[in-house]
Amino acid sequence: MAAILKRSVLTRTNAAFLPNDQFLCRKKLFIDETRGLLQQDKEHLNNDVPSIDKLTSLMKPHLLRTKVLENIANVGPQMALGAWIRTMFHGYVVCRLPFWVPERFRSMLQSGIEMMGESLDIRYVSGLSWYILNIFGLQGFLFLLDGTREVEDMQFGSLPEEIPEMQTKMLMKQEKEQWKGMDYHW
């Protein structure tokens, strides 16, 4: 419900940038008497998705312990492999990027390569830097391959704001009145 309210406020406040027909479609989407987003109740919106209170689930010690152990199990091997690559490939140039890179990325791309001056082209990448670039660059692809992770696990830090039910109904009613009383000028 909080996401619908945020979307409604953003659409209403930025309506001056929309053409007339698009504005009317969005207005109908929010305040339609039968199927408008501001008309529907919480049970109707979430009838197929089970309601999970993320804030209280994080307060349970066994669930928090499980989450920490999962993170340690994932991060531990990556750190060990990074340390092994740093010792084995210290000072080695592993690859050359096929595109131009700004000079300020030199310390990030050439970690572990000590040369006098800056005579090495910025496009050459050290072993440790290539490993780190692959870990973070391929993270989305690895999440696609690993079907066990859910979207909520990837967005652990972005917990939705919970609004009490009475306050939600009041805010929905106020937002609907704002839409009805709005003067539109493109």
Q: pLDDT band at 15, cuts 50/70/90?
A: confident
Convert the pLDDT of each residue in 17-29 to its tens digit. Answer: 888 888 888 888 8
Task: Give the pLDDT of residue 148.
Answer: 57
Task: Give the pLDDT of residue 151.
Answer: 47
Convert the pLDDT of each residue in 47-95 to its tens digit. Answer: 444 444 555 666 678 878 888 888 888 888 888 888 888 888 888 888 8
Of 11-20, 108-117, 163-172, least confident by mean pLDDT is: 163-172
What's the mean pLDDT in 2-6? 82
Read off the pTM. Answer: 0.42
Task: Give the pLDDT of residue 54.
Answer: 56
Q: Among the residues of 91-158, which ranges form H helices?
A: 106-109, 127-137, 139-145, 151-154
Give the H/E segment covering residue 93.
strand 93-96
* Structure tokens given for 175: 């937002």
Q: pLDDT band at 4, cuts 50/70/90?
A: confident
Sign of CA dihedral 96, 100, 104, 105: negative
In the block, tokens 């010792």 appear at 87
Give the H/E segment covering residue 125.
strand 124-126
